[in-house]
């Protein structure tokens, strides 16, 4: 992988990390009865990991490496 691809992908991976952190924090704050189980958190991460690239492609902002 060359540096141009890394520079193109880096903002998307940072956005994924920020979105996941916000979602997991919100989930922990509003989950009834305390903290959600690890399986709920992993499920949320998997759903986000699959939905984000799909949404970015649909909106036309996908990097060339994802095309």
When divided into structural domains, the chain yields a total of 1
- Residue 53: closest CA among 40, 42, 66: 66
Residue numbers of the domain that contains 59: 3-66
The residue whose two tokens read 């903290």 is 35
Burial of 54 (0-12, 13-18, 19+ CB in 10 A): exposed
With contact defined as beta carbons under 8 Å apart, do 65 and 9 qualify?
Answer: yes
Q: 1 falls in which pLDDT band (50, 70, 90)? A: low
Average pLDDT over residues 38-53: 96
Q: 38 falls in which pLDDT band (50, 70, 90)? A: very high
């Amino acid at each position: 992988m060359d540096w141009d691809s890394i520079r193109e992908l880096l903002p998307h991976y940072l956005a994924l990390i920020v979105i996941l952190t916000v979602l997991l924090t919100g989930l922990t704050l509003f989950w009834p009865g305390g903290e959600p189980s690890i399986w709920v958190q992993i499920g949320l991460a998997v759903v986000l990991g699959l939905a984000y690239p799909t949404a970015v492609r649909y909106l036309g902002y996908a990097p060339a490496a994802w095309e």
